Amino acid sequence: MNPSEKKHFTFDQIPDLTGKVAIVTGGNAGIGYIACRELARKNAHVFLLGRSIERGQAAVENIKSETGNHDVEFLHLNLKSLNSVKECAENFLARNLPLHILINNAVSHQSNTFSLTEDGIQEEFGVNHVGHFLLTKSLLPKIKASQPARIVNVSSRAHKYVENVIEFEKLNDPNAQDSMQRYALSKLANILFTNELNKRYLEGEQIYATSLHPGVVDTKLVRRNDLSLSETLVSSLISTEDGAITTLYCATSPEIEEKNYRGRYFEPFGIEGEKSSFAKDDDLAKKFWEFSENLINEKLSQK
């Protein structure tokens, strides 16, 4: 981005969030951490969710120190384990607090190594989609009771790289897709989940579910040697701070409610983007939803 280009949304446009409760997955680093910090700076009660207890608690203390807001807490969440997702949701619900903002941000990045979650689900799909699907559904009654509310699913422009019709039965076949396609499919799932969530549960409610591409954020993960980034892509990298802007736009901007943005997809910096043809397919969204529900029920019944 050209430094002189005006952003549609900036941190100083986040309204006061006193009395609001927010959950952010993957909040101990990267854009998740920035999102937690800026929500706390605007007086929200923030729950930072992550797999590493040590890093998560350190992040909480840093945010308290940076913002002066002491209503920042850590909850353990391992998205590679459906039981952990259930326990995390139960631990939050036991607090008997409202929930106004849910940001599904944690990401299993593209990897050349094929691996499975603890439940035997292909990892990118399991972490990026299935875990967040279960977490959101588990918290949805609380979100409905707390409306107006937001659900924000951090997807990626990579969803546009899905090339073929999705064969669900081959999800766990290590030879069915390369690493880019596995990651792209998981990010497509984030958008399809957002679409179908709006249709099934949120019509007529003051709950605004959106998805987004945060931008290609300059991190060590992005610059890994095995990803072989083009010079064009490297030149378009944005800072972690800028990477959090679109997430926070979807989570806090009054525009979302004023313009009744539901099931929309946004790109930096708070500008509506164009979804791929797969991401606009209502039948595919329905199939994804039913496949995800059946998969979760099957895995949890085996425990």
Q: Which domains does the chain have, with CATH numbers?
A: 11-302 (3.40.50.720)
What are the backbone dihedrals phi and psi of residue 152, each rounded to the nearest 5 degrees, phi first?
-120, 120
Residues with Cβ < 8 Å from 193, sequence gap 6 or more?
129, 132, 133, 136, 153, 285, 288, 289, 292
Radius of gyration, alpha carbons of the chain:
18
Q: Provide the whole-model pTM.
A: 0.94
The token duo for 261 is 């943005």
User: What SS3 string covers 32-70?
Assistant: HHHHHHHHHHCCCEEEEEECCHHHHHHHHHHHHHHHCCC
Strand partners, 154: 212
Q: Check: CB of residue 146 under 8 Å from CB of residue 98.
A: yes
Strand residue runs (E) in 108-257: 149-154, 207-212
Strand partners, 267: 271
Which of 183, 249, 261, 265 is labelled catalytic? 183
pLDDT computed for residue 83 by the predictor: 98
Told to judge if 183 belongs to the known catalytic residues of this protein, a careful annotator would answer: yes
pLDDT computed for residue 228 by the predictor: 46
Told to judge if 187 belongs to the known catalytic residues of this protein, a careful annotator would answer: yes
pLDDT computed for residue 112 by the predictor: 83
Which of 20, 187, 275, 299 is labelled catalytic? 187
* C-alpha–C-alpha distance, residues 153 and 160, integer Å: 16
Query: Which amino acid type is present at position 116?
Result: L
pLDDT computed for residue 176 by the predictor: 86
Average pLDDT across each block of 10 residues of the chain; the chain has 303 residues. List them in order. 70 98 97 98 98 97 98 98 98 98 91 92 96 98 98 97 86 89 95 98 97 86 45 71 97 98 97 97 96 97 83
pLDDT computed for residue 3 by the predictor: 45
Q: Check: CB of residue 198 under 8 Å from CB of residue 126.
A: no
* C-alpha–C-alpha distance, residues 135 and 18, integer Å: 24
